[in-house]
Chain A
Amino acid sequence: MARRVGVIGIGHGVFGRRSDATVQELAFEAFREAILDSGLQPGDVDASVIGAVPEYHKQRSLAGVVQEYLGLLPRPTWLTEAACASGSAAIRSGWLAIRAGVHDVVAVIGCQKMTELGTAEILALMGRVGEVQWESGFGTTFPAYYAMFARRHMHEFGTTTDQLAAVAVKNHHYGALNPYALFRKEITVEKARLSDRVATPFHVYDCCANADGAACVILASEERAREHSASPVWLSGMGCATASMSVLRRASLVGLPSAVAAAAEAYDMAGVGAGDIDVAEVHDCFTIAEIMAYEDLGFCPKGKGGPFAAEGRTYIGGDVPVNVDGGLKAKGHPIGATGVSMTYEIVKQLRGAAEDRQVPDADIGLTHNVGGIGQYCFVQILSRD
């Protein structure tokens, strides 16, 4: 029987334009909070896994630099990268190590600086998200791909731009309550409609913003987790799947096949279904992404994600509260950190520690972290005994 893995410490830094810190200094903020939360000493950590996307940093080979700054030498460390799902990839990596019995306590740090590069460099990177060989020559961008998904979703199911905006309104509402979020102000559908166009049908408020930031979770084997708490939070379902990284080779563009597959695996492992999820963090890099996530995760029927959002069913008190920490939309999206940030939030919810954003009786939570335009998806289900 494979070992269960618990989350015994969580930490988070402020996301935003962090001109005050290097990536390792950001990592330290999150790690410090997590290690204190866990009650352990840094010396108790057997290994660390760093989730980050290297091409945004001037510093090469981030894992070693971060590891050293955290004071964890000479323990093992390595970098995991899966685009915007690098944080979840790092968690999976730590989970695998503990399940295999190689380590007992693993610190997972998702960290990212995105503002070290100049605008031109960042815009150049934005043009290389899809299949560079066949698509980038035409000036495609990350928002353009999801915009094309949105167009198709609108064509097949009648999803409207106001339904897309409803997702942004919700996430900004909760972001205003989250001290770690980049954007702390509510918005209206009207404001979303009037914002600058990015790639039709998207306006600025349909798109998440780049940000700097870090988050940390301390993973532990079952024995160590039980030492920490009478009722640990477990990683009870871990799903991971891939799909074509090119829109040219996806059978359908109105959902992410990697998410459907990863969710199925996670639900199966955890022995739960979509209806059992009390609170979720999904990858809202663009508003349509959250709507498709509702469908891919089984929260609502295929094609009904738009009305599901517009009817308020994903607010606290609704069918399934989603992204009540602001999501990528309001928090900002430091790509390596997001997956760990999502996990932080769910653990907080399951512990009953989310204060004015607490989902009542949250027992089973889910994170859905997507890399790029859906070439990677990691779905985690967390629960207590």
Chain B
Amino acid sequence: MFKWFGLVSYVPYTKVEGFADHLREGRIMGSCCQGCGAVTFPPRSDCSACLDEHFEFIEYSGRGTLHTYTRIEAAPTGFERLTPYVVGMVDLEEGGRAVAWIGETVQEEDIEIGMDLQLVPRMSEEEERIRVYYSLEIPGTRWVKTAGSA
């Protein structure tokens, strides 16, 4: 369910809802327009180029390079107990960009624009609710992919 995505979710319903289900199973998905083949990340259902409304999910490797970042000290509602945390933006190898937390495998003093990073699917361990997200880790970090449970 898309409302699982992110530590706080403001978007319960979307045509690309499956993104969160795939992320829960360890797969990072972009979208591929069935009309013109355009590939987008984050995924979107409707193609603004050819107006086709049909898309397919397509798996991304999660590899990217760091475009910019910031350490947030003043948090928005829902994130108060996490500060400070570092948010990074990466250019993904297959195109598109992602915003995510810089994870525990990356030392803050080593963060440098242009460094290679790996988006790794994560599930929140500290609370009962299902929260799925991804974090930016050092390249080569591994994670478990599971088969669809539904």
Contact = CB atoms under 8 A, between A and B. Distances in A.
- CB–CB under 8 A between A and B in the complex? yes
Interface string B10-21: 110010000000
A132 B11 contact: yes
Interface residues of B, number: 34
Contact of B70 (A130, A133, A151): A151
Contacts of A230: none
Contacts, number: 113
A199 B133 contact: no
A285 to B, nearest CB: 15
B60 interface: no
B75 A138 contact: no
Contacts of A137: 5-9, 133
A202 B70 CA distance: 9
B98 A127 contact: no
Interface string A365-377: 0000000000000
A248 B97 contact: yes
Contacts of A384: none
Interface stretch (B31-39, B50-58, B78-86, B138-146): B78-86
A61 interface: no
B42 to A, nearest CB: 5
Contacts of B100: 138
Contact of A135 (B68, B77, B79, B99): B99
Interface residues of A, number: 37
A326 interface: no
A64 interface: no
Q: Identify the interface centre among A126, A128, A200, A248: most chain B CB within 10 Å of its CB.
A: A248
B70 A134 contact: no
A133 B77 contact: no
Given A132-B10, A138-B6, A198 B73 contact: yes
A199 B99 CA distance: 15
A243 B76 CA distance: 24
Interface string A126-150: 1110101111111111011001110
A200 B70 contact: yes
Nearest to B41: A248
Contacts of A149: 68
Interface in A101-141: 120-121, 123-124, 126-128, 130, 132-141
Interface in B68-109: 68-79, 82, 85, 87, 89, 96-101
B1 to A, nearest CB: 13
B68 A139 contact: no
B17 to A, nearest CB: 11
Given A127-B8, A155-B113, A139 B76 contact: yes
B70 A199 contact: yes
27 contacts: A120-B77, A123-B76, A127-B8, A127-B76, A128-B10, A128-B76, A132-B11, A133-B14, A133-B42, A134-B98, A136-B6, A138-B6, A138-B101, A139-B76, A139-B79, A139-B82, A139-B85, A144-B70, A148-B70, A148-B87, A151-B113, A152-B68, A152-B113, A197-B74, A199-B70, A248-B96, A253-B67
Nearest 5 pairs of A and B residues by beta carbon? A137-B6, A127-B76, A139-B79, A124-B77, A147-B70
